[in-house]
Structure 1
Amino acid sequence: MTIDNTFSMHFDPSRVLPLAGRARGLNDALNKLPMLPALADQLEQELVELSIHATAAIAGNPMRLDEVRELLALDYAQADVPAGPTVARARREITNLGLAYAPLPKRRVESGVFGVSEGFMRKVHAVMVQGTVSGGMGEYAKEVQNRVLDLITRTNAQDLYDLEQAVRAGLFHYHLFRLRPFNEGNGRVARFFESSILAVGGFRFACMMLPMYYRRHTDEYLRFFPLDDSPADNADLTSFLVFMLEGLLESLEVLRERLTAPLRRLALTERFRLLLEAREINRRSHDLLVLLLDRETVPDAEWKTGLGAESTGLHKGGSPLPFQLKDLFLKTPYKLLYDKVSEHTARRDLNRLLELGLLAKDGTSYTFQDRCLG
């Protein structure tokens, strides 16, 4: 079969490959972290829900994240309830995506290559649009059939098999979306196959996170896929690949925060105990540190919404929340510790924590140093 040269694979390796290498290194490190199977399953379920909500929202689906979660918790028959045409279509789009994405976590391996097939692509499209279009499920126009086959052949060529799979995923995503072989659902299919290539390539959790990044940057994302032209034979894909890989790295950083937070908390709690045991700090200072640690811990709900399409950005740990000396006497829960303590004593406690590197001071504000372990 002749390969269609209109599918440019040209990019600047000096800009793209270092980002891909950083993503692979961080991902491999995260894959080695100990994690209970039940927690891994819970995280995957959360990310599938967030990914489905984001990829549907990019395509114009108006459903909120809580509505998407509620709908995905139902079986397919329960979800298909009578409703107005707009609501019914939105609900069917979500349930269809749920069917398509359900096997995605099972495709993950430590390191492999996802072979794209025309039959599977047709099947995925048919699942995604069933009940929302009158025809054309899994079908594309005859004039693009050869180009679709050429794209699949090019994507499965040995040089792309040997390429870092994050780059290969981005290339296929870009060209399939630009080709628009189907009457509807091209973006959703392209993002799904990008996730599939990443999943089999070993990106266990991050494979489902890029749609959320694209959702937060919808305008920039869609500028790569104009409706009025097609890419030149030698189009430079560096800009899109850099955009995509920066999103992958951002997603991996969020995962690192989520996966290492319990370990960091255990280590900090143990350090506080040892300092108290050695009389390096008093009981009141110890309890203050525990309160500050609790305040810096990202609640589960914040993690979920912080990755979702309704958020303006990712929570990546952020800056520690500041407090002032007066807060110890005026604000709950600090005043429970310092209600009957003099200002001199409270200031002495804070100065001791500054000496130990557990607090930092900027003007009159103090911040807990949750990275004091390194």
Structure 2
Amino acid sequence: MKEVMTFKAGKFVFCDQYDKPRIEKLLVEAKTLSDAIHDLPILPKWASKIDPELLYSSVAGTAAIEGNSLNAEEVRELDEGKIPDEGHTAKDRLEITNLIDAYKMIDQQTTKPSKTNALAVALFLNPNILAESHIRDLHRQITSGLPYEDNIPGTYRNGMVKIGDKAHGGIYTPPKIIEDIEMLMREFIDWINSDELLNEHVFVRAALAHYHFSLIHPFWDGNGRVARLIEAKLLQSAGIRYVPKMLSNYYYRNVDDYYSAFSDSIKAKKDVTPFIEFNLRGVIESLQQMQSRIALLIRGLVMRDYLHFLSSKKSISKRQNDLITLLLDDSSGKPFTLHDLQTALPYSILYRKVSEMTARRDLKNLLERKLLTVDADGRYSLNLRSFDS
């Protein structure tokens, strides 16, 4: 813990005190999940689909917390050069493109910079180190060209702001004069890069960076987005997969609890358990979601191999093989009925010239092979869990 006396705002506390048993239990679960996911094989074609999806959902989530109206699909369209449906302002669109570029900035930190840029080289060689210049660069990127009152991209504010509301635990007034802000940002960088903090698990260190940067609130606008980007940067630099781009969506889905976790930690003064606990629950939820998704992809790969085996043994017909392959290629997972096979695309391509009796026989064989399941309403689905037992 580090206490700093400011010029005008009184004592500011950089706190790393939390309920160890309570947090350690969550941390063990998060670390176990993270390690398990890190060891899972990811094919390039899977990564090429997952990575953009996570980027677009993360950008939409972190922007939505601040009131932006674009959803993840519209973010994708914007990144692909398409203009989303009418109803979004030019400001909303620019916020999104700025955020996409900011996340790409973080991704590019894994690329070795030019030797002429001594600071960039030093940060590349020490990826866990957070630099004040990088924070300014992130803010410059996300607020460039946007008409925020008083805000100058990359420049600290000199004046009062208030954050929060009574519905989420009350209003907090951060330090307001630039001398305090500049000093606290220097102290923040020294503290977050100290041996004490570097020895914390990165999940805890990233959460502490997120929380304390938000308390300083150094810019006129964009502080929340920068805080979440700092957190993502620290996690990604430590080799954590997927979570850096998933937490923003967790915060958006649980935005009331997000604000309350801040307020509860502020009220607790020298105890940041509420925010770290909330954060770790988001880490665990994100990792569980990704573990399930990757497991389904692996099951799909195993099923394709099993299909090849069944076909080679003539245990299933070519049409039955084609139906299961079609279902594996359809990421929607939408169930279908016997009637759909002969009347609805894409199934009717295979079954429009086939009798109902033949279609029933196909479904019966695929059910017996546990490649399909059927519910009480006669709706069939791909059984990706057929290899679990």
The answer to whether the 8 Å contact 2:58/2:249 transfers is yes
Deviations 1:196-247 (A, max 9, x none): 1111111244312222222233333233345x99443223424x33332333
Q: 1:103 to 1:279 in 2, by over 3 A?
A: same
Q: 1:19 to 1:351 in 2, by over 3 A?
A: farther
Identity %: 34
After superposition, where does 1:194-205 map in structure 2 within 5 Å?
194-205=231-242
Give the residue type in structure 2 aligned to 1:244.
N
Distance in 2 between residues matched to 1:42 and 1:294, nearest whole Å = 13
Q: 1:153 to 1:275 in 2, by over 3 A?
A: same
The answer to whether the 8 Å contact 1:3/1:150 transfers is no
Match of 2:160 in 1: none
Give the residue type in structure 1 aligned to 2:219.
F
Pairwise CA distance, 1:99: 4.3
Q: 1:248 to 1:331 in 2, by over 3 A?
A: same
Pick from 171, 177, 190 the counterpart of residue 214 of structure 2: 177
* 1:105 aligned onto 2:140: no
Q: 1:145 to 1:232 in 2, by over 3 A?
A: farther
Deviations 1:6-31 (A, max 9, x none): 33323334443344344444444444
Deviations 1:320-359 (A, max 9, x none): 544444544554444543754354x554544433333223
The answer to whether the 8 Å contact 1:113/1:165 transfers is no
SS of the equivalent of 1:224 reads helix
Pick from 136, 139, 145 the counterpart of residue 122 of structure 1: 136
* 1:243 aligned onto 2:254: no
Pairwise CA distance, 1:165: 0.5
* 1:232 aligned onto 2:245: no
Match of 1:9 in 2: 16
TM-score normalised to the size of structure 2?
0.70
Deviations 1:48-84 (A, max 9, x none): 444333322221233455664465567xxxx9xxxxx
The answer to whether the 8 Å contact 1:123/1:138 transfers is no
Give the residue type in structure 1 aligned to 2:67.
G
SS of the equivalent of 1:360 reads strand
Match of 2:382 in 1: 368
Pairwise CA distance, 1:260: 5.8
Distance in 1 between residues matched to 2:342 and 2:294, nearest whole Å = 35
The answer to whether the 8 Å contact 1:50/1:212 transfers is yes
Match of 1:152 in 2: 189
Distance in 1 between residues matched to 2:328 and 2:2, nearest whole Å = 61
* 1:139 aligned onto 2:146: no
SS of the equivalent of 2:13 reads coil
SS of the equivalent of 1:198 reads helix
Structure 2 spans left out of the alignment, 5+ residues: 5-11, 112-124, 158-176
Which of 1 and 2 has higher RCO (CA within 8 Å, sep 6+)? 1
Distance in 1 between residues matched to 2:354 and 2:43, nearest whole Å = 44
Distance in 2 between residues matched to 1:48 and 1:364, nearest whole Å = 38
Match of 2:163 in 1: none
Deviations 1:179-212 (A, max 9, x none): 3232222101111100111111112443122222
How many residues align? The count is 338
Distance in 2 between residues matched to 1:156 and 1:187, nearest whole Å = 21
Pairwise CA distance, 1:278: 2.0
The answer to whether the 8 Å contact 1:124/1:138 transfers is no
Deviations 1:253-272 (A, max 9, x none): 44446656655433212212
Q: 1:164 to 1:284 in 2, by over 3 A?
A: same
Deviations 1:93-117 (A, max 9, x none): 34443443332113359x9762223
Q: 1:214 to 1:330 in 2, by over 3 A?
A: same
Greater CA drift, 153-162 or 30-39: 30-39
Distance in 2 between residues matched to 1:327 and 1:87, nearest whole Å = 42
Structure 1 spans left out of the alignment, 5+ residues: 80-85, 299-319
The answer to whether the 8 Å contact 1:155/1:168 transfers is yes
Distance in 2 between residues matched to 1:172 and 1:63, nearest whole Å = 27
